């Protein structure tokens, strides 16, 4: 599933090719995505695409008429190709521009989405309840400390809750907790501010590193053979259950927490 870094890299990959160009047509070849693609998406035809923004894992295509809200779901991929490039299987949406290029959404599992709003997009029902962006100043130790008081839930599920902060997917939660030396099951409300300082720092570092690595694949977004997949990352705990801790050499333990694979070191994480 594309996580926040992949979505941000998708944004960086497509934006320079489509921003500032007029949208000539929106072709919906299969409207049966996670929610049926509404007729209103055609309202953007004839206007300029002003900017491509991102909020959590939603790409926001700001146009003169309103905002297209695009989500990649489980398997969605974007690329920018000349309009006459033959479509391939699972190319469900094509947004065409006066430049002769088009943005294509390919999504085999069809859990992606394309919606439209004329109103303030931050108040859209999909976005209104979301916590702050992890790579902004609004996400800091003071914030997380205040939000966590009286919370008995495990710290790992707490930081993965989109209402608290967006974009901390399972891989990033595992890695950041290991780096911060915090046990994933520790109650969120029982963690000191000093430890939250470290945790926030490592969440930001882990996400920023993933975006940086993905940035090396940007030109792939304009190739006909498809946009890049997941970035190979140097993971210290995720996917390494039973293997040796890189810090203390003890075997890492793997459990299920909130139905998600959780790997940690019983010695290094308290």
Q: Assess 159 for contact with Zn ion (CB under 5 A).
A: no
**Residue matched to tokens 């003071």:** 142
Q: Assess 247 for contact with Zn ion (CB under 5 A).
A: yes
* Rounded Cα distance, 222 and 228, in Å: 10
The torsion angle over the Cα atoms of residues 68, 69, 74 and 79, rounded to 10 degrees, is 40
- Is the CB of 178 or the CB of 231 nearer to Zn ion? 178
Q: Assess 267 for contact with Zn ion (CB under 5 A).
A: yes
Closest distance to Zn ion from the beta carbon of 180 (Å): 13
DSSP state, residue 43? G
Catalytic residue among 11, 57, 79, 195: 57
Out of 28, 41, 44, 268, point to the residue binding Zn ion (CB under 5 A).
268
Under 8 Å between Cβ of 265 and 237: yes
57 is catalytic: yes
Q: Assess 245 for contact with Zn ion (CB under 5 A).
A: yes
* Rounded Cα distance, 270 and 178, in Å: 10
Under 8 Å between Cβ of 126 and 34: no
**Residue matched to tokens 């995505």:** 33
Closest distance to Zn ion from the beta carbon of 253 (Å): 10
Can you read off the two tokens belonging to residue 249? 């050499």
Closest distance to Zn ion from the beta carbon of 245 (Å): 3
3-state secondary structure of 215: helix
Q: Which stretch binds Zn ion (CB under 5 A): 39-47, 90-98, 120-128, 239-247?
A: 239-247
* Rounded Cα distance, 153 and 162, in Å: 14
Q: Assess 248 for contact with Zn ion (CB under 5 A).
A: yes
2 is catalytic: yes
Q: Which stretch binds Zn ion (CB under 5 A): 139-147, 206-214, 227-235, 260-268?
A: 260-268
- Is the CB of 215 or the CB of 251 nearer to Zn ion? 251
- Active site residue ranges: 2-3, 57, 260
Residues that bind Zn ion (CB under 5 A): 245, 247-248, 265, 267-268
């Amino acid at each position: 599933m594309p996580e926040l870094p992949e979505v941000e890299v998708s944004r960086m990959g497509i934006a320079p090719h489509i921003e500032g160009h007029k949208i000539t047509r929106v072709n919906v070849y299969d409207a049966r995505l996670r929610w049926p693609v509404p007729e209103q998406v055609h309202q953007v035809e004839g206007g300029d695409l002003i900017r491509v923004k991102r909020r959590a894992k939603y790409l926001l295509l700001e146009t003169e008429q309103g905002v297209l809200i695009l989500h990649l779901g489980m398997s969605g991929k974007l690329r920018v190709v000349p309009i006459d490039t033959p479509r391939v299987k699972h190319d469900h949406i094509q947004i065409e521009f006066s430049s002769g290029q088009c943005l294509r959404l390919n999504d085999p599992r069809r859990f992606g989405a394309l919606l439209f709003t004329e109103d303030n997009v931050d108040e859209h029902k999909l976005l209104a309840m979301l916590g702050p962006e992890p790579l902004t100043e609004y996400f800091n130790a003071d914030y997380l400390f205040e939000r966590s008081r009286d919370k008995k839930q495990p710290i790992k599920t707490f930081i993965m809750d989109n209402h608290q902060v967006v974009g901390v997917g399972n891989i990033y939660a595992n890695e950041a907790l290991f780096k911060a030396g915090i046990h994933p099951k520790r109650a969120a409300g029982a963690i000191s501010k000093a430890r939250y300082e470290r945790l926030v720092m490592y969440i930001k570092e882990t996400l920023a590193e993933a975006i940086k690595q993905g940035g090396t694949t940007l030109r792939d977004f304009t190739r006909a053979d498809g946009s890049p997949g997941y970035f190979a990352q140097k993971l210290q705990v995720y996917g390494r259950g039973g293997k040796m801790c890189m810090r203390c050499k003890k075997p890492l333990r793997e459990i299920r927490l909130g139905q998600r694979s959780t790997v940690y070191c019983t010695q290094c994480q308290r």
